[in-house]
Structure 1
């Protein structure tokens, strides 16, 4: 009984890692239907907030940081992340090459 539990624990951790790198059908559909539209909205709202805050960030000298956090970061998660993946990048192939 104890040996079976440790084998199941090892398999479940391996399965989780496998799901993160190779998302399944439901992860891809959920990402396409729910996450991507929300991230696209966040990108649009962030761009509008960046334009509104531009005079203040320019005076403060942190325009680059504001643009990075309000526009680039949500845009990267929306358009660069592979479908169903949890990490941004150009796809699983490039992520495997970086390791």
Structure 2
């Protein structure tokens, strides 16, 4: 029983470490996001919320795990940045840096105006 709890604790620690690495890789990419000019329908937003976002989140988590597992080989091959971009950053951008119902990644920026009348 004690070994099982210790193993579970180690697994949770590894997953937390992998997710924190993914967030560190994601932060610089937020500064480079483009404005999105799309007007999605309510059905597209609902489908995105119910189906696409959970699947993309799972893809991001699995990509992070695969990236951590493949990291020694990627470092030896000299393509660790490309592997991180493909396995972690790409799915994370599609999950978190995309307006609800939009098909392209990026922030939807609204222009605020001020009327004195």
Q: TM-score, normalised by structure 2?
A: 0.61
Number of equivalences = 75
Quote how far apart the aligned CAs of 1:91 are. 1.5
Tell me which stretches of 4 or more aligned residues in structure 1 moved more than 4 Å. Answer: none
Q: Which residue of 2 aligns with 1:85?
A: 102
* Contact 1:82 1:92 (C-alpha < 8 Å) held by counterparts: no
* Contact 1:21 1:92 (C-alpha < 8 Å) held by counterparts: no
CA distance in 2, matches of 1:92, 1:27: 19
Q: Which has the higher contact order (CA 8 A, sep 6+)?
A: 2
**Higher helix proportion (structure 1 or 2):** 1
> How large is the Cα RMSD of the aligned pairs?
1.5
Q: TM-score, normalised by structure 1?
A: 0.72
The answer for unaligned runs of 5 or more in structure 2 is: 1-36, 112-117
Residue 75 of structure 1 aligns to a residue whose secondary structure is helix
Task: Give CA-to-partner distance per residue, 1:26-66, whole Å, 9 cap, x none.
Answer: 00000000000000000000000000000000000000000
Within-5 A mapping of 1:1-99 = 21-91=38-108, 93=110
CA distance in 2, matches of 1:52, 1:72: 16
Residue 21 of structure 1 aligns to a residue whose secondary structure is coil
